[in-house]
Structure 1
């Protein structure tokens, strides 16, 4: 737990004032408490976790239950209005911004998104249902993603259109060619 907290501290720019760091600290504590053997001892830690989770929800507007599976270096860039379903799964190096919802498509219908590595989720985006988001994907602000997104893509619009992601070096070469 402490190694992951140190990594979260680095990911959130070593600033205790970042609400994303608060949410990640409570999340890591919630995951850690499951490693405590005797159930009676774990009960007091569970009570503390539930109190801290509610405090973060009220103060920061971030709902991040410990049942979510998060990869390393998960970053909450801006706080407020973030709701992540306990069934969701994230890979490494993902970024989430304010107003993002990741969860179930319909009440009572199981299945939450599985999100790959290095996914950048724009402000206000909604990712809903039992879908898969590939690696190196950018999801635009306010996009509503309700179907699978392949790796190296961009998802924009309502409902989201899937566009191929251009290589940065190729884009620079095209710009240099146009300028000459």
Structure 2
């Protein structure tokens, strides 16, 4: 069923509103919609990616790549037009974020600056991560290869992830390991400390 131009505009407006609400939820500095709309490079990058992805999937690959590269030079965020990204995706600060061609990102995912969702293969296969719903990836983290980050998992700042991370787990370190509960209650810390 084809949608009318008005329906497409209304869908786009609803998506922008969702993105603004996500920014308010995830960024304590985000207090004013107009300021967010005009100054959030992570949001500008995802909005442009949605256009580039639509071009890419319709076969207009060169224009999609040119748009993606232009956005990279303006925002510091490089998202390949082939990457699939869900709703309410939020990049805080944005600078230095790279999302590869075969990456799949679910809904309600948050990335901090300097995150790479990269590949480890030169083959034309699924070579980038799958990030399930509700994942948070800390500043400077590298997630490499066709690994799966389970729903609600957290990746610590500067971690290098090369293996799957289970749902609702926290992975930290180089190479990243899943951090489990401490043996003594007084040693337990909020997992957000690693993000």
Does the alignment reach a TM-score above 0.5? yes
- Matched residue SS, 2:164: coil
Residues 111-130 of structure 1: matches in 2 within 5 Å? 111-130=127-146
- Structure 1: tracts of 5 or more residues without a match: 176-180
Structure 2 residue 46 is the aligned partner of structure 1 residue 31: no
The TM-score normalised by the length of structure 2 is 0.73
**What pairs up with 1:147-166 in 2 under 5 angstroms?**
147-164=163-180
Partner of 1:80: 95
Aligned-partner Cα distance in 2 for 1:11–1:52: 24
**Residue in structure 1 matched with residue 18 of structure 2 by the alignment:** 7
1:75-97 CA-partner distances (Å, limit 9, x unpaired)? 00112111110100111110011
Measured after TM superposition, the shift of residue 7 of structure 1 is: 1.9
- 1:128-172 CA-to-partner distances (Å, cap 9, x unmatched) read 011111011110000000001011100000000112479xxxx8x
RMSD, matched Cα:
2.7
CA distance in 1, matches of 2:181, 2:149: 14
Q: Is 1:17 aligned with 2:50?
A: no
Deviation by residue 1:13-45 (Cα, 9 ceiling, x = unmatched): 431200011101101222344687xx8xxx6x9
Q: Distance in 2 between matches of 1:149 and 1:20?
A: 25
Q: Which residue of 2 aligns with 1:178?
A: none
Aligned positions of 1:43-122 closer than 5 A: 47=63, 49-108=64-123, 110=125, 111-122=127-138
Change over 3 Å in CA distance of 1:33–1:130 after alignment to 2: closer
The number of aligned residues is 162
**Partner of residue 134, structure 1:** 150
CA contact (8 A) 1:140 1:154 kept: yes
Structure 2: tracts of 5 or more residues without a match:
1-10, 25-32, 190-195
TM-score (norm 1): 0.78
Contact kept? 1:75, 1:93, Cα under 8 Å? yes
Measured after TM superposition, the shift of residue 106 of structure 1 is: 3.7
Provide the C-alpha distance between the structure 2 equivalents of 1:96 and 1:51, rounded to a whole number of angstroms.
24
Larger Rg: 1
